[in-house]
């Protein structure tokens, strides 16, 4: 199945809610997934995040965001902080972040809002987000997934020589196993039909003789 | 401009009528202005009325095609519900001219609707069922060499009604991104409404075809004046209801455009005779239109009777008001003081009607780049954000959510075809999975939580600690720049009427003849009275939407 951007958003939102996250984070997951899909990146790695039992609350200290106790940071919650907290929080080091690729849309959002070039890096990858919307990648094959990474750095950046991601990539088929996980989580947000809900819940008769 | 506290009450939204800013009216103006041409390059319909047809719309830069499939349908399976699995006719709007390979692929998928898969070359997917009452009667009359009765046509208003119209990436269709930059599709719902307008031609062509099959020598086509009385019906249930809540920046644009148009007209110092004549002509047509507006719904029937009375009184009061200073403002104030909600909202449309040159530009402001407009500024202090929330959403404090009536309902998505439904919280399972439509409740909770946060703490840190308030915070953030984006009522209360949400969106489309079937299901007509494609170039007058011209 090759989803449209709208379908990516819908699956991401419902799967995140189905995994027990609040609707506000489901909305962030939807927008982040859409952004990644539009740039040809493996948005379906969201499945790894939602399957991770070790996500814990974040603790913010000067220059550092770390998980409370053992465990990992949620890139959605962390990413929202980065996008919305302004460049005053930078440079910021995020420790033990699950699926750091999911931070990229938020870094791009910050670059756009602040009108500054923002770099996002961890040992296997480096990205630079331009204020006009372009995103460049230097180092790191993004096809393989980084499950969890210690030491993600977000900072304002100097220009880098790097390869631009396509602003609008062709639709691609996501990894089937990850997609299946997301669809299974999404189904948790659907309420099983009952005779009563079928009859009364939606409007319009079952039989139409007009 | 009317303030949000007035314009955004659900009851008023539920009394909305079309105006010249409605999407289908703006679409037809654009098609006419740009000189679009229309053709039917394929008609492969058999003697029983089943098969394939293609209608082309050729614009200055591009062509698109409505591909139509007509099916045999067991009457026992004909239903308006989203959970239907078969229909009389299914359609897709194809981006370009489909070759045989594309037609074959569409033939394998379009008849299956939601169960098919589509590609970015398909923009819109829709389906329609026949009006059992009218379709056969029209075929019989035409086959017998006579025209159907006007009263019969008016009683229904369409040969077929759509039961779902999908766009924007659903089931693999093209994402809006693909067409958002094209002038013909940049604005809200243009592709969808173009599809419905072309499907209208198909419904008439099909009836004439079947009449000609029945009696090749004696059958006649439908007379143009009668044909105009047929629109495309639409049956809308709860599937449409969450949309207005989930798209606050769009809702704001739609309301703001109308309110701006109204304000511009009200600000005019005098009324010239041409504008007065235009108003009176529209009012006369509206009165005839209201006289033919039928419904079995008792509440709506009462409202229509009151509306007819309102318009009669408006006709008496208008001449004197329009002769004075700030005439349109005087007329509006008179309506607000003396008419029902239906009367007031119809008056808004009538006031705007003769002022196309002044307001039609606003029809191009009704689309939004939602991604850009949903950002939360986390650098503001909690105290300042709380003050902003009190200004935009202080009204949420007026509900006591501890009382069961205030949370009597919940919105959810059913496992069955993912159909949105509304349940009774106390009596049905599933409330823990409710959709985020409990706007008043959740924003009231946010406001309370902000009150407990340090006033100088940046909002971003508050949200880091409280992800459960994020979606409510986003609504408050969006509302600061989009004052008409929030419906000011409790959408999970016992008294909520989902049909008010449906009615408002349908009025923005340009729908008429609202015919409620329950508090969450409504039938309407689209394009009733509108020109057909071959008639479009020759017709500048838009009065057709208000009702019939004076009886011949």
Q: Which residues of B touch A188 (CB under 8 A)?
A: 433
Contact B176 A6 (CB under 8 A): yes
Q: Do A205 and B81 touch (CB under 8 A)?
A: yes
CB neighbourhood size of B359 (10 A): 21
Angle (CA) B428 B434 B436, round 5°: 150
pLDDT (tens place) for every residue of chain B, 552 residues total:
999 999 999 999 999 999 999 999 999 999 999 999 999 999 999 999 999 999 999 999 999 999 999 999 998 888 887 778 999 999 999 999 999 999 999 999 999 999 999 999 999 999 999 998 899 999 999 999 999 999 999 889 999 999 899 999 999 999 998 999 999 999 999 999 999 999 999 999 999 999 999 999 999 999 999 999 999 999 888 888 999 999 999 999 999 999 999 999 999 999 999 999 999 999 999 999 999 899 999 999 999 999 999 999 999 999 999 999 999 999 999 999 999 999 999 999 999 999 999 999 999 999 988 888 889 999 999 999 999 999 999 999 999 999 999 999 999 999 887 888 899 999 998 899 899 999 999 999 999 999 999 999 999 999 999 999 999 999 999 999 999 999 999 999 999 999 999 999 999 999 999 999 999 999 999 999 999 999 999 988 899 999 888 764
What residues 109-128 of chain B have any CB closer than 8 A to a CB of chain A? 117, 120
Contact A97, A78 (CB under 8 A): yes
Q: Which residues from B are below 8 Å from A11, CB to CB?
A: none
Q: Residue B79, Cβ neighbours under 10 Å: how many? A: 20
**DSSP per-residue codes, B67-109:** EEEE----GGG---STT----SEEEEEESS---HHHHHHHHHH
Contacts of B87 in chain A (CB under 8 A): none
**Chain A residues within 8 A of B513 when measuring between CB atoms:** none
Give the DSSP letter string of B163-212: EEEE-TTGGGPPPHHHHTTSTTTSSTTHHHHHHHHHHHHHHHHHHHHHHH
The residue to which tokens 């077929």 are assigned:
B160
Q: Residue A174 has what DSSP assignment?
A: P
**Within 10 Å of residue B221's Cβ, how many Cβ atoms?**
14
Q: Tell me what the pLDDT averaged over chain A comes to.
A: 90
Q: How many Cβ atoms sit within 10 Å of the Cβ of residue B204?
A: 18
List of residues 6+ apart from B495 with CB closer than 8 A = B405
Going by DSSP bridges, is the β-strand pair B409-414/B231-236 parallel, antiparallel, or unpaired? Answer: unpaired
Angle formed by the axes of helices B498-509 and B23-33, nearest 10°: 10
Q: Measured between CB atoms, which of A4, A28, A113 is closest to B169?
A: A4
B461/A85 CB distance under 8 A: yes
CB distance from B174 to chain A under 8 Å?
Answer: yes
Across the interface, whether the CB atoms of A204 and B469 are under 8 A apart is answered no
Judge contact between B48 and B61, C-beta under 8 A: no
A57 Rama class: left (phi>0) / alpha (psi -120 to 50) / beta: beta
* Phi, psi angle pair for A123, to nearest 5°: -50, -40
Rounded Cα distance between A99 and A96, Å, is 10
Q: What burial letters (b/e) apply to B399-409, b meaning 16+ CB within 10 Å?
A: bebeeeebbbb
């Amino acid at each position: 199945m090759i989803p449209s951007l709208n379908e990516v958003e819908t699956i991401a939102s419902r799967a995140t809610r189905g995994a027990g996250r609040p609707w506000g984070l489901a909305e962030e997951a939807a927008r982040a997934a859409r952004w990644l899909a539009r740039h040809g990146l493996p948005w379906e790695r969201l499945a790894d995040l939602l399957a991770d039992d070790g996500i814990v609350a974040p603790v913010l200290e000067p220059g550092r965001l770390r998980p409370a106790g053992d465990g990992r940071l949620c890139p959605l919650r962390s990413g929202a902080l980065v996008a919305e907290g302004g460049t005053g929080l930078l440079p910021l080091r995020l420790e033990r972040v699950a699926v750091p690729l999911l931070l990229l849309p938020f870094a791009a959002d910050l670059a756009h809002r602040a009108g500054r070039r923002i770099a996002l890096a961890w040992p296997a990858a480096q990205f630079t987000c331009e204020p006009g919307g372009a995103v460049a990648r230097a180092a790191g094959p993004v096809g393989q997934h980084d499950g969890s990474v210690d030491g993600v750095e977000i900072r304002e950046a100097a220009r880098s020589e790097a390869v631009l991601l396509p602003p609008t990539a062709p639709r691609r088929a996501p990894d089937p196993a990850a997609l299946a996980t997301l669809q299974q989580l999404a189904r948790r947000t659907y309420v099983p039909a009952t005779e009563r809900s079928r009859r009364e819940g939606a409007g319009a008769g079952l039989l139409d003789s007009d | 401009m009317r303030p949000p506290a007035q314009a955004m009450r659900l009851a008023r939204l539920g009394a909305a009528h079309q105006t010249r800013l409605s999407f289908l009216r703006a679409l037809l103006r654009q098609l006419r202005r740009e000189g679009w041409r229309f053709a039917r390059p394929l008609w492969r319909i058999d003697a029983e009325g089943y098969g394939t047809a293609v209608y082309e719309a050729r614009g200055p830069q591009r062509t698109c095609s409505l591909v139509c499939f007509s099916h045999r349908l067991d009457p026992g399976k004909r239903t308006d519900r989203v959970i239907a699995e078969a229909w009389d006719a299914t359609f897709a709007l194809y981006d370009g001219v489909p070759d045989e390979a594309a037609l074959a692929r569409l033939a394998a998928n379009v008849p299956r609707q939601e169960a098919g898969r589509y590609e970015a070359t398909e923009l819109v997917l829709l389906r329609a069922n026949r009006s059992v009452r009218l379709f056969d009667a029209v075929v019989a009359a035409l086959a017998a060499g006579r025209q159907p009765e006007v009263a019969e046509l008016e009683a229904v208003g369409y040969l077929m009604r759509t039961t779902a119209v999908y766009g924007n990436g659903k089931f693999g269709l093209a994402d809006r991104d693909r067409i958002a930059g094209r002038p013909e599709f940049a604005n809200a719902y243009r592709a969808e409404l173009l599809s419905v307008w072309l499907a209208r031609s198909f419904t008439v062509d099909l009836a004439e075809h079947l009449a000609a099959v029945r009696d090749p020598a004696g059958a006649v086509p439908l007379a143009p004046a009668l044909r105009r009385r047929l629109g495309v019906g639409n049956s809308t249930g709860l599937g449409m209801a969450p949309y207005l809540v989930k798209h606050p920046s769009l809702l704001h644009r739609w309301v703001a455009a109308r309110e701006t148009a109204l304000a511009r007209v009200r600000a005019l110092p005098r009324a010239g005779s041409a504008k007065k004549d235009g108003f009176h002509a529209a009012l006369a047509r509206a009165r005839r239109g209201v006289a033919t507006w039928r419904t079995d719904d008792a509440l709506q029937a009462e409202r229509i009777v009151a509306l007819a009375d309102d318009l009669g009184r408006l006709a008496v009061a208008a001449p004197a008001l329009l002769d004075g200073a700030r005439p349109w403002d005087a007329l509006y104030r008179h309506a607000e003081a003396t008419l029902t909600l239906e009367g007031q909202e119809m008056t808004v449309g009538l006031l705007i009607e003769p002022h196309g040159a002044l307001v039609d530009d606003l029809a191009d402001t009704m689309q939004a780049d939602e991604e850009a407009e949903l950002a939360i500024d986390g650098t503001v202090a909690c105290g300042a954000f709380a003050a902003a929330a009190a200004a935009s959403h202080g009204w949420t404090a007026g509900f006591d959510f501890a009382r069961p009536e205030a949370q009597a309902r919940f919105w959810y998505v059913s496992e069955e075809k993912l159909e949105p439904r509304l349940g009774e919280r106390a009596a049905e399972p599933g409330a823990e999975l409710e959709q985020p439509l409990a706007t008043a409740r959740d924003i009231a909770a946010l406001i309370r939580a902000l009150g407990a946060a340090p006033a100088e703490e940046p909002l971003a840190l508050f949200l880091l600690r409280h992800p459960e308030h994020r979606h409510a915070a986003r609504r408050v953030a969006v509302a600061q720049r989009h004052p008409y984006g929030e419906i000011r009522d409790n959408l999970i209360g016992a008294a909520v009427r989902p049909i008010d949400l449906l009615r408002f969106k349908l009025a923005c489309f340009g729908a008429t003849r609202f015919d409620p079937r329950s508090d969450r299901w409504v039938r309407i007509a689209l394009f009733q009275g509108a020109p057909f494609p071959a008639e479009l170039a020759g017709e500048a007058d838009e009065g057709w939407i208000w009702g019939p011209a004076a009886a011949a």
